Chains A and B, each alone.
Chain A
């Protein structure tokens, strides 16, 4: 590639942070020069590395079906299978063909946007997933936003007086909150605030198109239940990261310059302390997505989670495969974003 192009790309990239806000020792030769370019390459490498996962996880499902003892069609038909159903499954899944051929055919169809048809309802799996995606995404988004807001607030409160009463209380609350199972917390919230006191609607989901408040009110309880764990983790991570940052030289320098306490905290420390938190959040998305399955069941929300559980109980493999592919994609995309943000925050990773 010609030199000028590289430079143009470098300029198009994100602007380098001021030296004092960088978590790296000063004088890192990698910084500034070709940041945008190597960022892109880093992202590209990560993307390539992520593709196998998308292929491998569905392959595992195919292999598992093949390896399961007994005739897969009979096994998949569940209890009391009718000959019709067995034949339908055999036909739909093409079970007489070798497993690799079936898998490749599925991959080929997916590349054309076709996830097949549900064994139970003859609907297109793509349609089913698209229709239910909004619910799950709203819920996950709400939970994550709550986790970030609550976690950041708590961590800042705690770092104002390190070792103080508030600090210890926040630390204790967060470590206890981590042990609370999300679905039980969801049940408790529902029984307290939807059944006993009826502050919020207990069940169901209203799309955003029907108004902001109806949408929000249906998301508050499940969102809090789902967001508790990531909120606690953000709190602990950010608190410990802030503690480290506040001890470092550049903070001392900022204080010596005469900056106020809040300026030091918000302008300098918080910025750098965000790095580990972004990572935590990224990894939690997968967990929150998984947690949304139980929460959707409790609150009777028509999302992907209930679709997945139904498809397992009725052995509806095409739907299950669609769900697996969707969740894996979300996780891959989020991991990718985390990886890229890592490369952005820490140039050493890109090398």
Chain B
């Protein structure tokens, strides 16, 4: 099935305005030009730091229950209140960042492994291999995503690893498409033909000469996918198909909030805001990376 390319494979594509400042060489410098990118990157760096240092930062043990302190609204003792087992919401929020970030990295790693090598292979070899792989990936892409995830979780059993495996499989076609398209772009460049003529094997040509071209757009897909994976993990954990108790993620915290909405409406905010900010930060980071890359590419083009 031939898929019409959707601009929304790349959600960061939509906003933005053309650049008029003089172009600067260097992707990193291009990326760091934008304040929003720096803020987004800084937020994510803090988040990772907070997740790593969770035991030092968290005011309470996230799993200690205190029945006398059930569903207390925010106070000096418990800055974000307590949940239905009397556990400190702030501490759970910090520990959940670990689960959410780790899970999202896992999912993207799975997607990268499933999507990138076949993409390069399909773009490099073409022919029947390309046809078969593209057909498989298109099928994956047109299957309804959450349904596929639910199915995989149903068969493998609920749990964060299985859920992330499922999300990784679903996101793989994005990596495949970008890798394949970029490979096809450079496949017939002189330096590729030259390296083949010099006797480089296929693997060496692919890894040494094609991969460096494929990586910049892939970095962009990684950034966007990390955000998407955080949101997907939250949905699955919210449904009880992801993280298992007593561990928690932002999604499972929202599930608690959902069942205690009448008594403790304040529970809805902290995990949701964290998911929202994290997804937004990854989007802006991806946006910045993309613009930095386009800029440095156009700068190179002008210099020649």
User: Hey, which bits of chain A sit against chain B, CB under 8 A?
Assistant: 46, 49-50, 52-53, 56-57, 60-61, 64-65, 68, 75, 171-172, 174-176, 178-181, 183-184, 187-188, 190-191, 195-196, 233, 236-237, 240, 276, 279-280, 283-284, 286-287, 289-291, 293-294, 297-298, 308-309, 311-313, 315, 317, 320, 323-324, 327-328, 330-332, 335, 338-339, 342
Contacts and interface: CB of A to CB of B under 8 A. Distances in A.
Interface stretch (B5-13, B76-84, B101-109): B5-13
B280 to A, nearest CB: 4
Given A191-B261, A298-B258, A324-B147, A184 B155 contact: no
Interface of B: 1-2, 4, 6-8, 11, 14-15, 139, 142-148, 150-158, 227, 231, 234-235, 238-241, 254, 257-258, 261-262, 265, 268-269, 271-272, 275-276, 279-280, 283
Contacts of A323: 147
5 contacts: A181-B231, A233-B8, A279-B4, A290-B145, A308-B147
A172 to B, nearest CB: 8
B268 A342 contact: no
Contact of A50 (B1, B11, B148, B272): B1
A65 B265 contact: no
Contacts of B272: 181, 184, 187-188
Nearest to B262: A195
Given A183-B235, A309-B239, 6 more contacts: A172-B15, A175-B14, A187-B272, A191-B265, A280-B7, A293-B146
Closest 5 CB pairs of A and B: A290-B146, A184-B272, A236-B14, A179-B280, A312-B154
A49 B1 contact: yes
Contacts of A280: 6-8
A57 B152 CA distance: 11
B265 A279 contact: no
A330 B14 CA distance: 27
A312 B14 CA distance: 36
A283 B6 contact: yes
A102 to B, nearest CB: 14
A320 B151 contact: yes
B157 A195 contact: no
Q: Chain A CB within 10 Å — which of B146, B154, B156, B265 has the most?
A: B154
A179 B227 contact: yes
Contacts of B261: 187, 190-191, 195
A320 B150 CA distance: 9
B283 A293 contact: no
Given A75-B157, A175-B15, A187 B279 contact: no
B279 A179 contact: yes
A237 B10 CA distance: 12
Contacts of A64: 151-152, 155-156
Given A293-B146, A338-B4, A187 B241 contact: no
A290 B6 contact: no
A57 B6 contact: no
B6 A279 contact: yes
Contacts of B231: 181
A175 B257 CA distance: 26
A236 to B, nearest CB: 4
Given A181-B235, A290-B146, A309-B150, A49 B2 contact: yes
Contacts of B269: 188
A181 B273 CA distance: 10
Contacts of A172: 15
Contacts of B150: 293, 308-309, 312, 320
Contacts of B143: 53, 57, 328, 331
Contacts of B257: 187
B241 A179 contact: no
Contacts of A236: 14-15
Q: Chain A CB within 10 Å — which of B234, B258, B262 has the most?
A: B258
Nearest to B135: A52
Nearest to A298: B258
B43 to A, nearest CB: 12
A124 B150 CA distance: 21
Given A279-B4, A294-B239, A320-B151, A56 B139 contact: yes
A237 B8 CA distance: 9
B146 A176 contact: no
Contacts of B147: 289-290, 308, 323-324, 327-328
B268 A53 contact: no
A181 B239 CA distance: 14
A194 B148 CA distance: 32
Nearest to B287: A175
Contacts of A175: 14-15, 283
Contact of B268 (A57, A65, A187): A187
Contacts of B235: 181, 183, 293-294
Q: Chain A CB within 10 Å — which of B239, B257, B265, B271 has the most?
A: B239
A187 B272 CA distance: 9
A298 B251 CA distance: 13
